[in-house]
Structure 1
Amino acid sequence: MMQHNPQFWISLSFAILGGAFCISGLLFRFYRFFKYRDIGQLLISVGVMALIWHVMIYCMIYTGEIQYYPRIYNKGIPFYYLVGPCFYFYVWLKFNPNSTLPKYWLLHLLPFCFGLIDVIPYAIAPLEEQKKLLRMLVEDIPLGFKHHYGFVDQQLHYMLRFGLAIAYIIGQWRLYYNADVDAKATKREVLIFNSVYSIYLLLQCSIVLAIILNSSQEAYILKSLDKLVWVSFCFLLFSLWFMLDGNKKSTLYYLK
């Protein structure tokens, strides 16, 4: 059992501590949003809340607790699609502090709408059927990549979500390198954000890609505690940055 391995508890501790840092950071950033109408803080907060939900669900899967809360499983799919655009436009606003969001930004919500539709089959399934699936999932974690409660194959969901996330992070780095060289303080803030999030994202993508390309080893890959420790540690670093950065004065972005 993974629960008997010290690495499991180390990774779980990193995840829980990271979640606590994120919640603290959210309080700071929501304060700045409501006081200064700082839309950039709202965007990054939405993206981070989706990450917190994702980490929480996986912690519950690994500990087995998810089987007692069937109603919350699978509900995060649409929100995971918001992480990429929210982070991208957060960076865009960092370099364009006096601008409003471009008119086409609503198009970036299309994957979110697609995700909302795809959670319907699981949401309307009988409660006992949901509980049965989650009991099986706790015993066989790769089932999360293979169950049929959705209009789209679950592996395709992971490929789309992480494919879009990579596209957006490339866009974030493009914004960074094309920014005015005079914006040194802002570029330094964005560099830290992009770097920490890129490492966290690449670790997750490597695990998903390994599972998709090597289905015979998917159970081993998902239960690899070495990988779990590194992913949770990167989440902890990102969460620490999110909290510390949220508590310091920076450029404001205004809703007009």
Structure 2
Amino acid sequence: MLILFGRGRRYQNLLLCIGIAGIIWYAVMYLLTSTGYIRHYPYLFNKGLPFYYLIGPCFYLYIRGTIYPQYTSFRKIDLLHLLVTIPAICSIMPYCLLDDVGQQYVVDQIAKDQNYSFSGAKYVVGIWHWFTWPLTALIYTVLQYHLIKNAAISASLTQKSKKWMYGITMICLITFGMILTLNLAVLFDKTSAAIILNSSKMIVFLALCFLTLGGAFFVNPNFIYGHFVLNGENIAHTDSSTVQEKPLSKQSLFKEEVTPILPDFELIDHLEAYLSKSKIYLETGLTLSKLAVAADIPSYKLSELLNTYYEQNFNAYVNVWRIKYIVQRLEIGDHKFLTLEALANEAGFTSRNSFFTAFKKQMGLSPSAYIGTLKLKTA
């Protein structure tokens, strides 16, 4: 979904997808290997090692692009970060080139004895990979920490942004540190490998780290969709083609001038035209998601538009249209035939109090007082 709906953030979202995919693959392969079910999926074994090496670099590049807009597009120099996967690709090739019978034999051996994964056998990746890839991820996470620290010193991040980025970085440090500790524990005590891999307290702690890492993105989706606060202004990353790179001096490396992006007036016109024509705002219980689908606007773009351009939440914005509708009905004299409660229900309000509050907030008068002004005009 990140790739399909990212539009202007495709490169950033690709980095995030690879990092998340690496963690998911590690967790799935760990479960399959430790339970012995890997025997049913020989085609999956030994395939994820290059992804593991990319977790650290991808999170680092993602955070860098989140802080500095000039890094949101692909740069050829970023290919250097892929070099860490070369040893991993070389190590998995012997197994990948085996026929089906050979691969089945290898996974059967692992299902019988988990120590076989750490035996250094020809068709199993080298033992050294089990501590080099988490160590590589730790190094990139430390670099990520310094990146955030320098940006924080330059005052280019809000307090909320700093806390979130520091939090993600600390979770990554703990996660990769636990993976490294777990792998080293197995390497130094292979006789207890089954116990360590299946019932160690480290496994429970590692699972909590994975859960927390996912939760960090869940509670802050703005960092996925590209809308965050920089230098006290709302910034939404646009397509990389609109970002012009500037030569960076040492002084400007960690402090960039960010030009606020103009609202999407075409999208604004589309939304208002749709609301005027369809009158969908009259539906009771209308939600942002339902409006987004009906108006053919991505939910995150609609939410971003309401927050940044209209400076209102969804309910307040819809109430503006409902009150506008009721005012039109009052001006043509419908209050003579219908009660205010009936008009409010027709407009989509679910209670008398919510209607009166919204009306007074928008019009500065209660509905009854507003009707009084209409009577004075016609008198």
Q: TM-score, normalised by structure 2?
A: 0.55
Counterpart residue type for residue 128 of structure 1:
V
Q: How does 1:236-251 map to 2 (within 5 A)?
A: 236-246=211-221, 249-250=227-228, 251=236
1:13 equivalent in structure 2: none
Partner of residue 5, structure 1: none
Kindly tell me: are residues 38 and 133 of structure 1, through their superposed partners in 2, closer, same or farther at Cα, counting changes over 3 Å? Answer: closer
Q: How many residues align?
A: 227
Output the CA distance in 2 between the equivalents of 1:113 and 1:129. Answer: 24
Q: SS of the residue aligned with 1:148?
A: coil
Residues 128 and 168 of structure 1: is their aligned pair in 2 closer, same or farther, counting only changes over 3 Å? same
Residue in 1 aligned with 2:23? 51
Secondary structure at the aligned position of 2:128 is classed as: helix
Q: 2:168 aligns with which of 188, 193, 199?
A: 193
* Residue correspondence of structure 1 range 153-192 to structure 2 within 5 A: 154-179=126-151, 180-184=154-158, 185-192=160-167
In 1: Cα distance, 2:170 partner to 2:133 partner: 19
Residue 109 of structure 2 aligns to which amino acid in structure 1? M
> SS of the counterpart of 1:74?
coil
Question: TM-score under structure 1 normalisation?
Answer: 0.79
Per-residue CA deviation, residues 177-207 of structure 1 (Å, 9 max, x unaligned), is: 1112241243222112112222222211111
Report the AA paired with residue 105 of structure 1.
D
What do residues 209-243 of structure 1 show as CA deviations (whole Å, max 9, x unaligned)?
A: 22233444434322334222221121111122233
| One-letter code aligned to 2:87 | F
The equivalent residue for 1:24 is none
Aligned to 2:295: none
1:98-150 Cα offsets, whole Å, 9 max, x none, are 33455422111112233222211101223222222212212322221224235
User: Where do residues 1-256 of structure 1 align in structure 2 (5 Å cutoff)?
Assistant: 27=1, 29-33=2-6, 35-99=7-71, 100-101=73-74, 103-150=76-123, 154-179=126-151, 180-184=154-158, 185-246=160-221, 249-250=227-228, 251-252=236-237, 254-256=239-241
Greater Cα offset, 192-201 or 241-250: 241-250
Q: Distance in 2 between matches of 1:246 and 1:74?
A: 32
Identity, in percent, stands at 26
Given that 2:60 and 2:140 are in contact with CA atoms closer than 8 Å, whether structure 1 keeps it comes out as yes
User: For structure 2, which runs of at least 5 residues remain unmatched after alignment?
Assistant: 229-235, 242-379
d(CA) in 1 for partners of 2:31, 2:197: 12
Please give the root-mean-square deviation of Cα atoms over the aligned residues, in Å. Answer: 2.3
Kept after mapping to 2: 8 A contact 1:81/1:112: yes
Say which structure is richer in helix.
1
Shift in CA distance, 245/182, structure 1 to aligned 2, threshold 3 Å: same
- Displacement of 1:171 in angstroms is 0.4
Partners in 1 of 2:27 and 2:181 — Cα distance? 17
Judging changes above 3 Å, is the alpha-carbon distance between structure 1 residues 216 and 253 closer, same or farther for their aligned structure 2 residues?
farther
The runs of 5 or more residues in structure 1 that have no matched partner are 1-26
Residues 6-59 of structure 1 show CA distances to partners (whole Å, capped at 9, x for unaligned) of xxxxxxxxxxxxxxxxxxxxx3x33552x2234222211111111111111111
Contact 1:84 / 1:165 at 8 angstroms: preserved in 2?
yes
CA contact (8 A) 1:75 1:119 kept: yes
